[in-house]
Chain A
Amino acid sequence: MAEAMGSMDLETLEPLSNFSFHPLFDREWIEKITEAIQRLRAKRASPELIAESIAGVSHLRAQLLFLLMDMKSARIEKKRRIVLAEFFHDLLLTKAKTDPYGFQSNIMHSPKEYDALMKKPFAAGSPDISLELARLYSAAYHLANGLYTDFYTDYAVENFGPYHIGKDTIKVIKKVHDLRPLLLWNYSGAPCTSVTVYTILKNVRFRCDGISCHTTYEGDPVLGLEQYSVEIDGRIIIHNLEDIISFRKRLERESQTQWQHLTNLQHEALKQKAVEMRCYVWKDFFTLAGIEWKPSAEMARAVQKPLVLDLWQPPEGDQVEFWKKVMDPEDEFLGHNNHNL
Chain B
Amino acid sequence: MKDGCWKTMKKILTGVGTSQGKVQGKVRIVRDIVDHEGFEEGDILVTRLTDPGMVGLINKAGGIICEIGGMTSHPSILSRELGIPCIVATKDATKVLKDGDIVQMCGTSGEVHKQDTDWKLSWE
**Count class of interface residues, chain A:** 35 or more
The chain B residue sitting closest to A145, CB to CB, is: B52
Q: Does B49 contact A (CB under 8 A)?
A: yes
Q: Which of A49-57, A84-92, A214-222, A283-291 contacts B (4 or more CB under 8 A)?
A: A214-222
A138 touches B55 (CB 8 A): yes
A8 touches B73 (CB 8 A): yes
Number of residue pairs spanning A and B whose beta carbons lie under 8 angstroms apart: 89
Q: Which of A137, A146, A220, A256 contacts B81 (CB 8 A)?
A: A137
B72 touches A130 (CB 8 A): no
The chain B residue sitting closest to A137, CB to CB, is: B81
Q: Which 8 A-B pairs have the closest CB atoms?
A: A142-B52, A222-B83, A259-B53, A142-B55, A9-B70, A146-B52, A259-B52, A135-B59
Q: Does B58 contact A (CB under 8 A)?
A: yes
Q: Which residues of B contact A (CB under 8 A)?
A: 49, 51-53, 55-56, 58-59, 68-74, 77-78, 80-83, 88-89
* Most chain A CB neighbours (cut-off 10 Å) among B51, B55, B59: B55
Give Cα A57 to B89, complex, Å.
30
A138 touches B72 (CB 8 A): no
Cβ contacts under 8 Å, B58 to chain A: 138, 142
Extra contacts besides A131-B82, A216-B71 (7): CB < 8 Å: A9-B73, A12-B74, A137-B81, A139-B59, A209-B72, A213-B77, A221-B81
Q: Does A246 contact B (CB under 8 A)?
A: no
Q: Does A229 contact B (CB under 8 A)?
A: no
Give Cα A188 to B93, complex, Å.
35
* Most chain B CB neighbours (cut-off 10 Å) among A9, A139, A214: A9
A9 touches B89 (CB 8 A): yes
> What are 28 A-B interface contacts by the 8 Å CB criterion?
A4-B72, A7-B71, A11-B68, A130-B83, A134-B81, A137-B81, A138-B58, A138-B59, A138-B78, A138-B82, A142-B52, A142-B58, A146-B52, A215-B77, A215-B80, A215-B81, A216-B80, A221-B80, A221-B83, A222-B83, A248-B59, A252-B59, A255-B53, A255-B55, A256-B56, A258-B52, A259-B53, A260-B53
